[in-house]
Amino acid sequence: MGIEVIEHKGVRYAEIIWAVTRVENTKFFSPAESSFQFGLLAHRAGYHEAPHYHKEFSRTVTDLQQMFVVQRGVVGVKLYDDEGRLLREVILKTGDAIVLIHGAHAIRVIEDMQCISVKQGPFLGDAFDKIVVEVKE
């Protein structure tokens, strides 16, 4: 399956890296201008990277993207367009990863699951950061 990009009317809603995806060299799949970079690091045994850090500079981020990797279990991720219509439900299993870029999303736990979740901070709490939307399924 590899990499999957979910778009609707020219808008990128999500990117998925399926667990079966293999690359020979490090590869990022998000556009360079994306506020959240999503990819795979890959190196052969014996590779050494020089000690380093990433340059600080001011960035303006107007979208909050969320990424998660399924460590165990099965989870359905529902993606909705700007009008609250269901675009698609993606079923993720152990090792699959998704970055949620645009639109509303919801999860449905199919088998007990645990995911690593990453999003831009600071997170100011559900009352401030999370907006519940009415959807049309």
pLDDT single digits (tens) 99-129? 999 999 999 999 999 999 998 877 777 788 7
pTM: 0.87
User: What total of structural domains would you count in the chain?
Assistant: 1
Q: On the CB side of 119, how many CA atoms lie within 13 Å of its CA?
A: 16
Question: Would you say residue 47 lies in a domain?
Answer: no
Question: Would you say residue 86 lies in a domain?
Answer: yes
Question: Would you say residue 51 lies in a domain?
Answer: no
Transcribe 58-72 into DSSP letters. Answer: -----S--EEEEEEE
pLDDT confidence band for 1 (50 / 70 / 90): low
Question: Would you say residue 102 lies in a domain?
Answer: yes
Per the structure, the complete domain to which residue 15 belongs is given by 3-42+62-129
CATH code for the domain in which residue 32 is found = 2.60.120
